[in-house]
């Protein structure tokens, strides 16, 4: 097939230590690492002493295909991914039509083949009526349950329906945990508020706590593999800190680590999302929970909405922010500022998602592993600019921030796909495999 020799790199090991030398990829795998490799290869890169990391796995993105291609499709979303060092993604089912059947899942897999620049996996979406499909549709990384409504019309909020889903089957259930009844009640109570900051008051911390508590209770009652998506509050952290069985994982997104309600003043609806951004003390609690292992990994919830739609007055403005291109530079910059180690960054962004979803052979750099890699510029700072964003919607809530850790080369399956801003034609990702979950 193909071979790629990367010379003169600082190669990150899983423990955060660095190995200075060369790395040879052959037929999609890391074939060899050595102080100096002199093999001939189809392509040889001089890494110039820059830092080689495992490719990032983003375990929660919304790429809008089918049905919303004017906002994003699998080609544009995966382009933004590789431009941000993301070599694999897991995509959500709230497309049009929603991914709630084997046929809809097959359609997405078919669309991604030879179009997605990164490796891809898809969730199957739960409704109150598709129990058989959610347990058998394959390959799926897990079942997505919207316990509270968000973009699209997927919703399972009746506790009896939720109980049935948790009680039947064994594969991973990933929940968007917000309590629908409380959201509805508070929407009525706050009707008339047109400021974007109302969003965080309506969908308050208690909405999130109630739903996460119910999901946890059902998971414990049925010993069912649970993943809590984009956990956002200190109250939910406390719940998990008290009781987090081995079969439960949880994630956080950079928006909830790095933005808070003070940002509405300048950014308005650009920072409107579900679950909403919270308070500065929640930011701190989420960082602490990552360090403690209460939170397992980082996703982006990349949710592309057009600026013209975002400009609508509240509550007509849509919820969600693009993020797949900026997560690695944001967290790498936090690492350079001393907020986390290189071992933590790799665990949260690479090996954690691979372990959580049972994605074999990915997540760290070692001989025999898949050659999904990113060479980053660990020194220079560059400002986030809307015009550099590869998502079709072309903006970032972090525009103006100066970040480091931007990809120089992104390598998928042992082949360079992203090269200093250019895309190499003809390099595509593969469908991801998922090992059956172990509930115990």
157 binds ligand DOR (CB under 6 A): no
Distances (CA, A) of 69 to 189, 303, 319, 396: 35, 13, 17, 18
303 binds ligand DOR (CB under 6 A): yes
Q: How many residues does the chain have?
A: 440
Give dist(CA 287, CA 292) in Å, integer: 9
In the complex, least distance from residue 174 CB atom to ligand DOR, rounded to whole angstroms: 11
151 binds ligand DOR (CB under 6 A): yes
301 catalytic per annotation: yes
In the complex, least distance from residue 272 CB atom to ligand DOR, rounded to whole angstroms: 7
60 binds ligand DOR (CB under 6 A): no
Buried-exposed string 384-417: b where 16+ CB fall within 10 A, e elsewhere: beeebbbbbbbbbbbbebebbbbbbbbbbbbbbb
Among the listed residues 179, 204, 301, 370, the single catalytic one is 301
Residue with Cβ nearer ligand DOR (23 or 162): 162
Distances (CA, A) of 198 to 79, 187, 266, 272: 34, 10, 15, 10
In the complex, least distance from residue 150 CB atom to ligand DOR, rounded to whole angstroms: 4
299 binds ligand DOR (CB under 6 A): no
Distances (CA, A) of 405 to 84, 204, 214, 378, 420: 9, 34, 39, 5, 13
116 binds ligand DOR (CB under 6 A): no
320 binds ligand DOR (CB under 6 A): yes
150 binds ligand DOR (CB under 6 A): yes
In the complex, least distance from residue 321 CB atom to ligand DOR, rounded to whole angstroms: 7
Residue in 62, 256, 310, 335 binding ligand DOR, rule: CB under 6 A? 62
274 binds ligand DOR (CB under 6 A): yes
Residue in 273, 290, 365, 376 binding ligand DOR, rule: CB under 6 A? 273
194 in Cβ contact with 221 (< 8 Å)? no
Residue with Cβ nearer ligand DOR (99 or 151): 151
162 in Cβ contact with 224 (< 8 Å)? no
Residue with Cβ nearer ligand DOR (26 or 199): 199
Which contiguous run of DSSP H or E holds residue 120? strand 119-122
Tokens of 405: 């850790």
Residues 172-231 that bind ligand DOR (CB under 6 A): 176
Residue among 273, 378, 322 nearest 18 (CA): 378
Could you give the residue numbers annotated as active site? 301
User: Which stretches of the chain bind ligand DOR, using CB under 6 A?
Assistant: 62, 94, 150-151, 176, 273-274, 301, 303, 319-320
């Amino acid at each position: 097939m193909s071979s790629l020799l990367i010379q003169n790199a600082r190669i990150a090991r899983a423990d955060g230590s660095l190995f200075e030398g060369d790395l040879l990829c052959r037929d999609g795998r890391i074939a060899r690492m050595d102080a100096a490799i002199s093999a001939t290869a189809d392509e040889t890169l001089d890494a110039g002493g820059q830092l080689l990391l495992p490719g990032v796995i983003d375990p929660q993105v919304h790429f809008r295909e089918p049905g919303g291609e004017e906002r994003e499709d699998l080609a544009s979303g995966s382009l933004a991914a590789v431009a941000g060092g993301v070599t694999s993604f897991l995509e959500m089912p709230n497309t049009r039509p929603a991914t709630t059947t084997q046929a809809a899942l097959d359609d997405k897999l078919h669309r991604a083949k030879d179009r997605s620049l990164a490796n891809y996996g898809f969730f199957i979406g739960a409704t109150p009526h598709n129990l058989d499909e959610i347990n058998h549709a394959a390959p799926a990384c897990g079942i997505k349950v919207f316990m509270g409504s968000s973009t699209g019309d997927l919703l399972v909020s009746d506790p009896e329906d939720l109980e049935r889903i948790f009680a039947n089957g064994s594969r991973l259930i990933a929940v968007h945990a917000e309590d629908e009844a409380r959201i509805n009640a508070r929407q009525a109570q706050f009707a008339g508020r047109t400021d974007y900051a109302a969003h965080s008051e309506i969908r308050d911390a208690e909405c999130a706590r109630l739903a996460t508590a119910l999901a946890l209770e059902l998971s414990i009652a049925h010993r069912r593999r649970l993943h809590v998506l984009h956990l956002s509050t200190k109250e939910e952290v406390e719940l998990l800190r008290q009781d987090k069985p081995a079969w439960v994982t949880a994630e956080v997104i950079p928006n909830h680590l790095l933005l808070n309600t003070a940002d509405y003043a300048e950014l308005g609806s650009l920072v409107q999302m579900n679950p909403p951004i919270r308070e500065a003390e929640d930011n701190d609690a989420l960082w602490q929970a990552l360090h403690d292992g209460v939170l397992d990994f980082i996703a982006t919830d990349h949710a592309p909405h057009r600026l013209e739609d975002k400009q609508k007055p509240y509550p007509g403005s849509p919820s969600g922010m693009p993020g797949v291109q900026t997560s690695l530079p944001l967290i790498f910059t936090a690492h350079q500022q001393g907020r986390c180690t290189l071992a933590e960054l790799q665990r949260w962004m690479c090996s954690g998602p691979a372990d959580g979803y049972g994605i074999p052979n990915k997540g760290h750099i070692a001989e025999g592993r898949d050659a999904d890699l990113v060479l980053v510029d660990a020194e220079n700072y560059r400002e986030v600019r809307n015009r550099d964003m590869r998502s079709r919607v072309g903006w970032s809530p972090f525009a103006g921030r100066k970040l480091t850790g931007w990809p120089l080369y992104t390598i998928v399956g042992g082949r360079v796909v992203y090269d200093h801003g250019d895309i190499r034609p003809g390099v595509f990702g593969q469908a991801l495999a998922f090992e059956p979950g172990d509930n115990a």
